[in-house]
Chains A and B, each alone.
Chain A
């Protein structure tokens, strides 16, 4: 792996270390808003404070290792990342208002469009097909309590 030009903080260990350090500190700091109690009667704050503190230390150690011996992180594949997660969020937002049929169609269509995995025609067909499939299976066959249609 190329150690020469790799950014030290933005290396695999550097980023992972920062993440754990941040998460640990977040829980550590917030745990002080709860009672710590004592050994006889441990409060709700003690365990998260301990675990958060240890996680922050581990994060710092991993960050340090990243600074000393950085390993490059591969480039972020934005298209798959957005193309997979944005449709899921879209589904979550539209499900209760537009109903399963449209939300499912939108999820399938937008995921194919955003990731550019299929032509417009294929995407439309698959969106229609899977929308019908999910309404049939989950709405009518399994009777999952869901709004199915926009009306």
Chain B
């Protein structure tokens, strides 16, 4: 193993423990948890909402705070999932199943505690994986040419289809819709404003946060009001979130397995953190001697996906920091946030801005430790937030979203545009189209086109460059294999259905929504 990485990490701690950075990390995790606890507000909306708070900060401090917000939102979402059965994002769906069942049996403290401890252990493990792997991958990334980048992005996009719920065909269509919306604005090669239709506001393209807020934020609020399910009916009131000795004995192995699975799958571009959570849950259920307990309050069913989710939340940073490729909607948002602060995510960050790179990673460890402490002790505070009826909470969420969007560019045009995307978001919910692939396509669209064009310029119009370059050829093979797996899935689903046990992620979700 490369020991210089740990020297770098040591230097990173020097950055992260500076009082200002420590304070911002703390403020970030507290605000992230506070907003993330709000029903129907997942990490994407939480980060979009709080992003403007970082604008005045220097890049290192801003990223440390943003990362804190990100983990805070993850932890906060688990609390809502367990106590209210409201998942803020896909990966929290699994926590809902067994976590909420435990809360209904009066074991909320155990579920919350195991979830916090599992997330912490996994977070630390995931961060150490980042420390060990990132320098190696940065070295490899420097060998990447435009053709290789293009193929890697294809893998990422194809993988995000694999994760998406609600049908493969629709997910692919959503990616292309995202690709197209993403290229609205000035073309980097010719300087022509494409698809802006004379609107000066569109010359710089559509802001990522506007799309995210509209699709995820506004769309979700409308759906919550429609269902009327989001009203603060807590499953159980708890004083703290301390699990019992027996809980810890039952859950340390699932936590360890979940951390490993999550960390491994989180490295893949396009996989996001949901795949790891689903894989970990499925594994626990498979190897359990009493699989019938799952869905009815099995502690392993909370520990494993929560650990996987959080390990992946850390290792998701690897493709972003080494290749500049976001692995999911949340990382795409982090990439956008880095660009706002003048940092282009990619292999150069580690060499040109080591204090930023290692400072961020060191702050991940500090942030996770803070969150463990906060969540074990301050659960009563979060419960107060959860007890507020949704009918009084949603105007606040709406107001915060609107002010947040405005303050990105001091533009009321953006606020109106987000409302338009809100209509689209509601349409997507109604027609069963998941918005996450659209966001992936949106952020990757411009990069995909740029690398395609650059690769062809470099090869003087020789399109075979994508299959003759070894890295690109390997990646394209992977993409083809995933496509083959996708084509196989409908057939496999059919076979599974006829044997009577549908255990696909989609089945788990629909089961959850039905209840």
Q: Which residue of A lies closest to B413 (CB)?
A: A92
Instruction: Contact check, B403 vs A138: say whether CB atoms are below 8 A apart.
Output: yes
Residues on B with beta carbons closer than 8 Å to the beta carbon of A12: 430-432
Instruction: Contact check, B430 vs A92: say whether CB atoms are below 8 A apart.
Output: no
Closest CB-CB distance, A106 to chain B, in whole Å?
A: 10
The docked-state distance in angstroms from the alpha carbon of A14 to that of B493 is 23
Residues on B with beta carbons closer than 8 Å to the beta carbon of A107: 395, 398-399, 402
**A-B CB contact pairs (8 Å), 28 listed:** A15-B431, A16-B170, A27-B180, A40-B460, A44-B189, A44-B192, A47-B449, A58-B172, A62-B170, A62-B173, A73-B430, A84-B218, A85-B422, A85-B423, A88-B398, A89-B415, A89-B416, A91-B402, A93-B416, A107-B395, A108-B395, A108-B396, A111-B398, A118-B391, A126-B392, A130-B396, A134-B403, A146-B406
Closest CB-CB distance, A32 to chain B, in whole Å?
A: 12
Given contacts A20-B177, A144-B407, whether A88 and B218 have CB atoms under 8 Å apart is yes
Q: For chain A, which range describes its interface: under 10, 10 to 19, 20 to 34, or 35 or more residues?
A: 35 or more
Q: For chain B, which range describes its interface: under 10, 10 to 19, 20 to 34, or 35 or more residues?
A: 35 or more
Q: Which residue of A lies closest to B445 (CB)?
A: A51
Instruction: Contact check, B433 vs A16: say whether CB atoms are below 8 A apart.
Output: yes
Q: Which residues between 411 and 458 of chain B lie within 8 Å of chain A, taking CB atoms?
A: 412-413, 415-416, 418-419, 422-423, 426-428, 430-433, 445, 449, 452-453, 456-457
Residues on B with beta carbons closer than 8 Å to the beta carbon of A48: 180, 183, 194-195
Residues on A with beta carbons closer than 8 Å to the beta carbon of B225: 77, 79-80, 83-84, 115, 117
Closest CB-CB distance, B131 to chain A, in whole Å?
A: 34
Instruction: Contact check, B430 vs A65: say whether CB atoms are below 8 A apart.
Output: no
Q: Which residues between 34 and 87 of chain A lie within 8 Å of chain B, taking CB atoms?
A: 34-35, 38-44, 47-48, 51-52, 54-55, 58-59, 61-62, 65, 71, 73-74, 76-77, 79-81, 83-85, 87
Residues on A with beta carbons closer than 8 Å to the beta carbon of B422: 84-85, 88
The docked-state distance in angstroms from the alpha carbon of A142 to that of B410 is 14
Report B353-393 CB contacts with A as 1/0, cut-off 8 Å: 00000000000000000000000000000000000000110
- For the complex, is B205 an interface residue (Cβ under 8 Å from A)? no
Given contacts A48-B180, A93-B412, whether A108 and B399 have CB atoms under 8 Å apart is yes
The docked-state distance in angstroms from the alpha carbon of A83 to that of B422 is 12
The docked-state distance in angstroms from the alpha carbon of A59 to that of B52 is 36
- For the complex, is B58 an interface residue (Cβ under 8 Å from A)? no
Which of A15, A52, A55, A74 counts the most B-chain CB atoms under 10 A from its CB? A55
Mark B residues whose CB is within 8 Å of A: 52-53, 169-170, 172-173, 176-177, 179-180, 183, 187, 189-190, 192, 194-195, 218, 221-223, 225-226, 391-392, 394-396, 398-399, 401-403, 406-407, 410, 412-413, 415-416, 418-419, 422-423, 426-428, 430-433, 445, 449, 452-453, 456-457, 460-463
Q: How many A-B residue pairs lie within 8 Å, measured between CB atoms?
A: 183
Residues on B with beta carbons closer than 8 Å to the beta carbon of A61: 169
Given contacts A44-B194, A84-B422, whether A54 and B176 have CB atoms under 8 Å apart is yes
Q: Which residue of A lies closest to B176 (CB)?
A: A55
Q: Given A58-B176, A73-B430, A89-B416, list of 11 further CB < 8 A pairs? A: A12-B431, A16-B432, A20-B177, A39-B463, A40-B461, A41-B461, A47-B449, A61-B169, A77-B225, A77-B226, A89-B419
Instruction: Contact check, B456 vs A42: say whether CB atoms are below 8 A apart.
Output: yes
Q: Which residue of A lies closest to B426 (CB)?
A: A81
B394 interface neighbour in A15, A27, A71, A111, Cβ under 8 Å: A111
Mark A residues whose CB is within 8 Å of B: 12-13, 15-16, 19-20, 23-24, 27, 30, 34-35, 38-44, 47-48, 51-52, 54-55, 58-59, 61-62, 65, 71, 73-74, 76-77, 79-81, 83-85, 87-89, 91-93, 95-96, 100, 104, 107-108, 111-112, 115, 117-118, 122, 126-127, 130, 134, 138, 142, 144-146
Residues on B with beta carbons closer than 8 Å to the beta carbon of A81: 222, 423, 426
Instruction: Contact check, A42 vs B180: say whether CB atoms are below 8 A apart.
Output: no
Instruction: Contact check, B180 vs A51: say whether CB atoms are below 8 A apart.
Output: yes
The docked-state distance in angstroms from the alpha carbon of A19 to that of B401 is 26
B399 interface neighbour in A34, A79, A104, A118, Cβ under 8 Å: A104
The docked-state distance in angstroms from the alpha carbon of A114 to that of B193 is 39
Instruction: Contact check, A27 vs B407: say whether CB atoms are below 8 A apart.
Output: no
A40 interface neighbour in B402, B430, B457, Cβ under 8 Å: B457
Closest CB-CB distance, A8 to chain B, in whole Å?
A: 14
Given contacts A12-B430, A16-B432, A134-B403, whether A44 and B190 have CB atoms under 8 Å apart is yes
Instruction: Contact check, A34 vs B406: say whether CB atoms are below 8 A apart.
Output: no
The docked-state distance in angstroms from the alpha carbon of A100 to that of B461 is 54
Instruction: Contact check, A84 vs B222: say whether CB atoms are below 8 A apart.
Output: yes
4 tightest A-B CB contacts, nearest first: A40-B461, A117-B391, A80-B225, A92-B415
B169 interface neighbour in A42, A58, A134, Cβ under 8 Å: A58
The docked-state distance in angstroms from the alpha carbon of A108 to that of B403 is 12
Residues on A with beta carbons closer than 8 Å to the beta carbon of B418: 88
Closest CB-CB distance, A39 to chain B, in whole Å?
A: 4
A13 interface neighbour in B189, B218, B431, Cβ under 8 Å: B431
Instruction: Contact check, A55 vs B402: say whether CB atoms are below 8 A apart.
Output: no
Q: Which residue of B lies closest to A145 (CB)?
A: B410
Residues on A with beta carbons closer than 8 Å to the beta carbon of B445: 51
Q: Which residue of B lies closest to A66 (CB)?
A: B431
Closest CB-CB distance, A113 to chain B, in whole Å?
A: 10
